[in-house]
Structure 1
Amino acid sequence: MPPSVPPRRPSRPNALLVPEWLRHYRSHWVKGDVIAGLTAAAVVIPNALAYATLAGLPVEAGLYTAFIPMVIYALLGTSRVLSVSTTTTLAILTTSALARVAPGGGQAELLAAAATLGVLVGAMLMVGSLLRLGFVANFISAPVLVGFKAGIAVVIFVDQLPKLLGIHFVKGEFFYNLLRIAEGLPRSSTPTLIVAALALVTLIVLRRFVPRVPAPLVVVAVAIVVSKLLDLHAHGVETVGAVPAGLPAPRLPVLALADTLWPIALGMALMSFTETVAAGRAFAHHGEPAPRANRELFATGLANLVGALFGAMPGGGGTTQTAVNRRAGARSQAASLVTAAVALAAMLLLSPLIALIPQAVLAAVVIVYSIGLFDPIEFRAIARVRRMEFLWAIVALGGVVVVGTLQGIVVAIIVSLAALAHQVSDPPVYVLARKRNTDVFRPVSDAHPNDETWPGLLLLLPEGRIYFANVEQIGQKILRLIAAAAPQTVIVDLSGVFDIEYTALKMFIDAEQRLRARGITLWLAALNPEVLALVQRTPLGETLGRERMFHNLEQAVDHYRTAVLGEASDMGRAR
């Protein structure tokens, strides 16, 4: 009888073709995903319509953005609950980009520019994925991002204010727009003001007191009914107007615009990726896979590229809509597919109703959901921790308001990199003492006046990587501390130094020679294996030898006390 052959295991589906969430889908997730998808649609679709008008595009572009990118990310992304369409930040950046390349242009020009912009953003994100540049999102610090988003909130408010007032003018720079608004106040439309005020109050009240109710959907639905019954357009209230029904038609980019748009697209790609990863990480629950940065680049890149070819705006993961998705019970990207299905139904069936929406209502939705980007509590928290980083946040805010949102991205990145350079170029060097009756060494402080020190001994602790950009600063700090203490032995604790570069090693070699000439001995303690190997390959290692390099600071101090001061060893002191 032939030996039995174990059954062959089915081959694992290709991870790129079958999403992770679908491979592990559970039947009890269905209810939560359906409810969450419908609830998120109530927020996403009105917001997307409003953001399309913000960018000067026809409102159906918002529907396309809530459909195509949502589906593509659901199939390829790594976050289970991230909701991907356009966001407040990306909408205002799109507005600025289109105003630059097609100032005063008609719809056809704006749509062509938007398609080109979206294709560039998507292509850059996908190239970033191929080059494994997912780490780049970490180069914008949290305080700078807080300031940047606050600036965006200010710009959006000023941009949408004319729609609330029912006034019109050719828009320009931020302060020019403020002046035109002030001049136009006497010409404000009273019916538009009433509609805007009612929409704002309703949105705020619902968000504040009934947060589970989809406030944008309620307000937009009521506005449609009122607009139809009272014929608001005839009373001077501007409405969305005719909206073509049906699926989006293919739209090709205009390559001639690429030369002008690529720097803008690069900044938008960075912001899209930063927002996407931040939202994905913020709403990942314990036990769910964390978003994978390089895969997120690919998924959002393809979502932008394909979406742009069918009339969608540049997009990414939105914090607000993802929060709604998660709170409503989403367990997987099936919720996003439900949201996309609702957007598709709106495209095919609801165009006549969308045409009745007052522009002032969409502006109110944008303002209410954008004003949260300006968070005074975050500014206060930053200022409480470190005033320098508070200054960086203010600079980023001012960069957006004063020089514009697109240039504000550059300001934000430059400020972040300058902050990083400042931090690594000026690391701290501490003078240490020992807490009595322990082996705990800590920086000398007025709060601990009884900590132990020893005559003729100076303990120093530098922190961080020591390399060519900061070695001079560290060297000067060490020499100043030595000059002030006038010790006979200096022990440098390198436990806080994870790497040391050749220029820094040369500084230590020169410092050891100068100190020896003045009768001061240099010892090193607590070198990690890599740093120890580097030191041993230099003349410094030969000069110090095993006698002046120690496993830890406690051993070095004990050796000093017994060999120099003649005290009894107390190694093994209680911790």
Structure 2
Amino acid sequence: MALSPLTKYLPVLQWGRTYNKEAFQNDLVAAVIVTIMLVPQSLAYALLAGLPAEAGIYASIVPIMLYSVFGTSRALAVGPVAVVSLMTAAAIGKVAQSGDIGYATAALTMAFLSGVMLLGLGLLRLGWIANFLSHPVIAGFITASGVLIASSQIGHILGISISGHSLPHMFESLFENFTKLNFITLFIGVAATAFLFWVRKGLKPLLLSKGVPPKLADVLTKAGPVAAVVVTTAFVALFRLDNWGVKVVGEVPQSLPPFTMPDLSFDLIGKLFVPALLISIIGFVESISVAQTLAAKKRQRITPDQELIGLGAANIGAAFTGGYPVTGGFARSVVNFDAGAETPAAGAFTAIGLAIAALALTPLLYFLPKATLAATIIVAVLSLVDFSILKRSWGYSKPDFFAVAATILMTWAFGVETGVSSGVGLSVLLYLFKTSRPHIAEVGLMEGTEHFRNIKRHQVKTDDRLVMMRVDESLYFANARFLEDYIYDRVQADCGIEHVVLMMSAVNAIDFSALESLEAINARLKDMGIKLHMSEVKGPVMDRLQTAHFLHDMTGEVFLSQYEAMAKLTGMTAAKAAE
């Protein structure tokens, strides 16, 4: 019992007490598979962020270990991901030039800010803030980002430099530099891309057809990017193609992550604050989606607020160990899960594997062509592209379709920050638009029952002296006036009305603006000789109304049920009403 307060914030104390030899073996196997995949992927994502290749490995060591202590997901693999890497490059590119020491320092600061924000949100239990990004908008943003990321790597495939963080700028730069095309680099890039696509779809079936055990076939498939790295690196080194214009990674420090310090000057923090907030929210949404999906398969539980703390700790760790913003990655987490990871210890073992790679393998990466890393990124991010969201949202909800389409177009045209900002804005505006015109149904009694349904959809019993309206939305400042106008329009058209009953079964809250509207409705109906009543008011709503004078001033009554209201106001007995 004494450990329970600690286990809330240190989940490692919970799963660590039941850790056994079998879990250790499963975690170790998963770590080996994930490490093989992460070495080239981490290098590639660091270059995507505009940072030296080693920053990707550094960002995958300490952050993973910290998450394994504070995180609640047993399969989530934390580290650099494509979308966050692109957002990092877009944000830092506005305050520093890639390659400068100030650029790397800004990346550390971005990770620190993101970590502090995530940690603060977790401690304040504000995980719900991610709900401001609707799923269709997130899907549209990730699809747009996938295309943007793949486009940004075309330059590396062609052996030319392209700049910009939006499609128009990228293609403009591409056309300007197209004459500098390097055909050797093009050959390496196209061959690596084609091979990686084939590995993803065709290698495992081929191996299984040859009698290779499924587990081994899966490991060999995941090692496909490593094979591409080894072959293309050897090819470039053997023929010294770097002398022929093939761009290589170059010297990668042979060391563990260094101790680094972010720049906490107010000027830099002010410039990076908003991008860091966007990265934090996007990263958290991506991470929690993956974590909950994988946890559901094993009936495990994810605590969103504790996930914020885990991701916050991981990002702070990245800031002090030469990294940049990190989050839970979809591809690596799925690989980790499929490989049999039992606990977050698999992540810690992965970190150890990457540390060994940083010490022993980095000298072998000197001749690694950047075209191969670009191919790795392209193949990885194109799996995120899903334009079917447009078709599905068009068929189900036109407003959601326009939000998705606008997010995609804004991301392509102006970059990731504008795209995700517009997505958040559109999500909020769509919510306000939908709820500002709530569905209000005039209802009547179904014959032989005590149920009330829409008079436009069902054959129901009504009374000329009585108007019964079901309000299908909580009442707040954006829709209060709509309810006023709806009631006035209805009663002015019928002089025989004596009572208006608002059926409040779907109303979960009434804010102060809506309360004032109800008071205005009550006063105006009173002047018209009509009484206002309510029925089926929920307890929390009634508690709030009882703190004001509205119930005392209301001309009518509050009924427990709509059936009771109709029976009393029409003078019917229960038996007669049910006839």
Indicate if the aligned counterparts of 2:76 and 2:329 stay in contact, CA closer than 8 A: yes
TM-score of the superposed pair, with normalisation by structure 1: 0.89
In the alignment, is the contact (CA less than 8 A) between 1:561 and 1:569 conserved in 2? no
| 2:343 equivalent among 328, 332, 335 | 332
Cα root mean square deviation, aligned: 2.8
C-alpha displacement of 1:284: 1.0
Distance change in 2, residues 1:443/1:334 (3 Å): same
Structure 2 alignment gaps of length 5 or more: 205-217
Moved more, 184-193 or 389-398: 184-193
CA contact (8 A) 2:443 2:453 kept: yes
Question: How far off is 1:140 after superposition?
Answer: 1.4
What is aligned with 2:276? 265
One-letter amino acid of the structure 1 residue matched with residue 576 of structure 2: S
Q: CA contact under 8 A between 1:79 and 1:280: conserved in structure 2?
A: yes
Partner SS, residue 257 of structure 2: coil
Q: Which residue of 1 aligns with 2:208?
A: none
Number of the residue aligned with 1:569? 576
* Superposed displacement of residue 436, structure 1: 4.2
Tell me how far apart the structure 2 counterparts of residues 160 and 337 of structure 1 sit (CA, whole Å).
Answer: 31
Structure 1 residue aligned with 2:33: 39
Is 1:150 the counterpart of 2:168 in the alignment?
Answer: no
Three-state SS of the structure 1 residue aligned to 2:351 is helix
| Cα distance between partner residues in 2 of 1:535 and 1:13 | 38
1:518 offset after TM fit, Å? 3.3
Give the superposition deviation at 1:334: 1.7
Q: Cα 1:560–1:356, aligned 2, differ >3 Å: closer, same or farther?
A: same
Q: 1:220 to 1:452 in 2, by over 3 A?
A: farther
| More displaced stretch, 423-432 vs 165-174 | 165-174
**Structure 2 partner of 1:320:** 331
Report matched runs for 1:319-398 at 5 Å: 319-398=330-409
Within 5 Å, give how 1:171-190 maps onto structure 2. Answer: 171=164, 174-190=167-183
* Matched AA of 2:149: I
- 1:40 offset after TM fit, Å? 1.9
Q: Residues 450, 67 of structure 1: CA spacing in aligned structure 2 closer, same or farther, 3 A cutoff? A: same
2:260 corresponds to which residue?
Answer: 251
Cα distance in structure 1, aligned partners of 2:520 and 2:393: 40
Where do 5+ consecutive residues of structure 1 fail to align?
Answer: 1-8
Preserved CA contact (<8 Å) 1:562 1:568: no
Aligned position for 1:512 = 522
**129-138 or 468-477: which moved more?**
129-138
Question: Per-residue deviation at 1:373?
Answer: 2.8
1:283 aligned counterpart, secondary structure = helix
Correspondences of 1:377-526 after superposition (within 5 Å): 377-445=388-456, 448=457, 450-483=459-492, 488=497, 489-526=499-536
Paired residues of 1:32 and 1:330 also in contact (CA < 8 A): yes
Q: 1:293 aligns with which of 304, 318, 325?
A: 304
Q: Assess if the C-alpha contact under 8 Å between 1:561 and 1:568 holds in 2.
A: no
Residue-by-residue CA offset, 1:472-525 (whole Å, 9 max, x unaligned): 112112323444566623321111112223433332333234334434443321
- The alignment partner of 2:468 has SS state of strand
Which amino acid letter does the alignment assign opposite residue 222 of structure 1? Answer: V
Q: Which of these residues, 125, 136, 139, is aligned with residue 132 of structure 2? A: 139
- SS of 2:324 mapped into structure 1: coil
Give 3-state SS (helix, strand or coil) of 1:459's partner: strand
Q: CA 1:259/1:509 → structure 2, altered by over 3 Å: closer, same or farther? A: closer
Match of 1:4 in 2: none
Task: Summarize deviations over 1:393-432 as a string: whole Å, max 9, x none.
Answer: 2222223222222233322322222223333333221222
Aligned residues: 558
Whether the 8 Å contact between 1:52 and 1:91 is mirrored in structure 2 is: yes
Classify the secondary structure of the residue corresponding to 1:101. coil
Cα distance in 2, alignment partners of residues 439 and 274 from structure 1: 44
The offset of 1:229, in angstroms, is 4.1
Alignment partner of 1:132: what SS?
coil
* 1:84 partner amino acid: V
| Pairwise CA distance, 1:39 | 1.9
Q: Distance in 2 between matches of 1:12 and 1:174?
A: 51
AA aligned opposite 2:532: L
Displacement, 1:568? 4.9
Q: Is the 8 A contact 2:148 2:166 kept in 1?
A: no
- Asked if the contact 1:40–1:325 (Cα under 8 Å) also holds between the matched residues in 2, the reply is yes
Q: 1:6 aligns to what? A: none
Cα shift readout 1:91-113 (whole Å, capped 9, x = no counterpart) = 0011112211112x534332222
Cα 1:76–1:533 change in 2 (3 A) is: closer
What's 1:162 paired with? Answer: 155
Q: What amino acid is the match of 1:185?
A: F
Greater displacement, 277-286 / 287-296: 287-296
Separation in 2 of the partners of 1:25 and 1:487?
Answer: 75
Change (3 A) 1:209 1:537: same
Q: In structure 2, what is the equivalent of residue 87 of structure 1?
A: 81
Say whether the 8 Å CA contact 1:250–1:309 is kept in structure 2. Answer: yes
User: 1:305: which partner in 2?
Assistant: 316
Measure the CA separation in 2 of the matches of 1:70 and 1:444.
59
